[in-house]
Copies of this chain bind each other. A is one copy, B any other.
Amino acid sequence: MAERIVKVGLVGFGTVGTGVAKLILEDGDRIAAKTGIRLELACVVDIDTKSARLVKLPAGILTDDLDRLLADETIEIGVEMVGGTDAARQVQLKMLEAGKNVVTANKALLAEHGNELYRAARKNDRCIAFEASCAGGIPIVSAIRAGLTANSITAMYGIVNGTCNYILSNMTAENEDFAAALAAAQQKGYAEADPTLDINGLDSAHKLAILASIAFGYEIALEDIFVEGIDSISKDDIRYGGEMGYCLKLLAIGQRHEHNRVSLRVHPSFIAKDSALARVDGPFNAVSIFGSAVGQVMFYGRGAGMMPTASAVVADIMDVALGNSVTTFRHLNLKLRAEVEPLIEKIDEIESRFYIKVMAKDQPGVVASYGKVLGDNQISISGALQHEGRGPDNTVPVVITTHTTQQKNMTAALNDLERLDVFSGKPVCIRIVDIPEDKD
């Protein structure tokens, strides 16, 4: 088969950009043999043209001048690896206007400005491919858009942030403090020097916004997603939850109910230890999806890192080069807000089970007190655990799990519990998520 040459321009020569250049330059022969398409890295743009990288570029293609890439009409595909939202947005818009198809891994940008960018792509009859934006090397975007196209997707439960999962796995396995687990993650390269976006849950929310849009077919705004991070999780709660049969994960949850009612949230979640997602450890990602025809499917792999992410970027480049992405993108038929306004469930309305921990003082009436507060708020108790022995300030931890109730009932109950004299400090409350099991 005759090879067709497809020229690629890359903007952003950082970690993932380097991985992409590496794959194109070092595996070009293999990819060409497999697909009939020879990728040519024609231009690499970065403000830093001096520092050494892990790949050696052909002479003359590295530049700090974006216009050089834009003006080269032979470049069909522009890969935006800039990161962040301001400059990256400009880069994507300019590349689309210059007639290039865009490949990106920028979840923050797509979550915040995706709808604007998708419109710009359509206006210019070009596409934006973004497989690498969610769950790194796992081909989850194409699975939802193509592989599961016959399905009405009703729910997704994802571990989509490797940093948080590494931290929580370590806290669980080693009974480590949050701070120590974070430091270990940083040392391993699984957490940035500034890990805020990861541990506050926002990075997971970015990915949920993208995945839920394509799975449910609505425009979804970042503000539609309730977000709670993992920074206030204590190792004790992980241990007590473990004793009750649960494992703590930061889950990104999207559910679509009838009448366009949608629930979107990212929060620490106790899930049953024997559920498939509970077994996803360390820096790995996994997403469980429920489809009307297929039932439960799960995708598992590395959600970040230079080469796994570059693997997804190059898959997208090939998909664009083969002409498939343009077709798929044309049919990325998101209903505009003007057309269908999804009814976003408020967090107060969400029904959940809960894990509560209160520090009880050594005095009579503890059980009666929390029993009454929960009962008064229409919450029924599912399990309780009180170890003998003393905690700090002569208190003992009392752990309670509840049956399903609305968040607003729980919020009221927590306020009541905090005011009770028999308890010390603020109660801890973590949602228990019962992932539906698709069993025989």
Contacts and interface: CB of A to CB of B under 8 A. Distances in A.
A33 B296 contact: no
A440 B282 contact: yes
Contact of A301 (B149, B283, B296, B327): B296
Given A294-B307, A324-B327, A152 B333 contact: no
A148 B139 CA distance: 8
Given A296-B301, A299-B300, 14 more contacts: A27-B152, A33-B217, A35-B149, A36-B331, A139-B297, A151-B311, A190-B440, A295-B305, A295-B307, A295-B308, A296-B302, A298-B301, A322-B327, A322-B331
Q: How many of these chains are in the complex?
A: 2
Interface in A128-153: 131, 136-139, 142-143, 146-152
Interface string A12-54: 0000000100010001001101111100000000000000000
A279 B282 contact: no
A243 interface: no
Contacts of A139: 142-143, 146-148, 297
A259 interface: no
A302 B438 contact: yes
B302 A300 contact: no
A27 B143 CA distance: 19
Given A149-B34, A279-B279, A301 B310 contact: no
A258 to B, nearest CB: 14
A31 B149 contact: yes
A301 B148 CA distance: 12
Contacts of A147: 131, 138-139, 142-143, 312, 315
A23 B324 contact: no
